[in-house]
Amino acid sequence: MRTIRGPIANTGRHLLMIKGKTVLAVIPARGGSKGLPGKNIMMLAGKPLIAWTIITAKQSKYIDRLVLSSEDDRIIEVAKDWGCEVPFKRPVDLARDDTLGIEPALHALRLIPGFDFVLLLQPTSPLRIVDDIDNVIEACILADADACVSVTEASKNPFWMYYLSQGNKLKPVMGNKNLVDNRQQLPKAYLLNGAIYLAKTNWLIKSKSFLCEETIAYKMPRDRSIDIDDKLDFLMAEALIGLPNH
């Protein structure tokens, strides 16, 4: 496998380093999507969906190199048009429906070694801001954590969720011992929002997952946590972008 080398580039604001650590940012964007075909290059409020992530990432003061990982020629061209580096084309066998989300990051690290941290930025999270990205990097490095991922508070608490057993009987997801009548007594629950995944490269290569006992969380508000999977998500993102505070 060919190793791709190149100069570390300042992708946006004045480039800084925390404790001398370097960061490789990877935008994974495959062409296939069952929920919303072609979504990564669909026009969202005047720009292709992927452009929102490229623009935000290029503003980071900590990202040393920003690259795209895609097998799709149309996505590659759009990403290049918006200033994202595309040093390789992802193999088709790593862009299937059943490909694990970690694979684009591991593949990029095999081709572009030498970075202390790898940052995965999914293009389906267009409402994250540069402060979210830089805050994750700061939190992870200053805490000497192996990984940090973005989360948002769940709108529905799992302590009030049920599954249906045989005969359509309600069974609490968290078990009968955890039933709580007062909402104020419930512990807050958080969901992965898919916006930001960061990890030490050597640790990630060994663990093969951003999510382990060592992973810490970075909390984001719900209005910046939309993960576009279908048309409704897309319309919600477009509506939020149109609000004055966005």
46 and 116 share a domain?
A: yes
184 inside domain: yes
Same-domain status, 30 and 136: yes
- Total number of domains in the chain: 2
Q: Is residue 11 in some structural domain?
A: no
On whether the CB atoms of residues 127 and 224 are closer than 8 A, the answer is yes
What's the CATH number where 208 sits?
A: 3.90.550.10
Claim to verify: residue 145 and residue 160 sit in the same structural domain:
no
Reported pTM:
0.88
Q: Could you tell me if 67 and 127 lie in one domain? A: yes
The answer to whether residue 124 sits within a structural domain is: yes
Q: In this structure, are 206 and 84 located in the same domain? A: yes
Q: Is residue 207 part of a domain?
A: yes
Give tens-digit pLDDT for 105-138: 999 999 999 999 999 999 999 999 999 999 999 9
Indicate whether 176 and 144 sit together in one domain. no
The CB-based long-range contact list for 136-143 (8 Å cut-off, 24+ gap) reads: 136/196, 136/198, 136/218, 137/18, 137/23, 137/60, 137/62, 137/198, 138/18, 138/62, 139/216, 139/218, 140/198, 140/199, 140/216, 141/18, 141/19, 141/21, 141/117, 142/18, 142/19, 143/216
pLDDT tens figures, 2-29: 555 444 444 444 467 788 899 999 999 9
In a domain, 80, yes or no: yes
If asked whether residues 120 and 231 sit together in one domain, one would say yes
Tell me, yes or no, whether 94 and 195 share the same domain.
yes
- What's the pLDDT at 11? 43
Residue 116 lies in a domain: yes
Q: What is the mean pLDDT of residues 91-110?
A: 89
Residues 159 and 148 in one domain: no
196 domain residue, yes or no? yes
Percent of the chain residues topping a pLDDT of 70: 89
168 and 56 in a common domain:
no
Q: What is the mean pLDDT of the chain?
A: 89
Give me the pLDDT at residue 184, please: 67
Domain span including residue 129 = 23-152+190-239
Mean pLDDT of 197-223: 97
**What kind and span of H or E run contains 193?**
strand 190-200
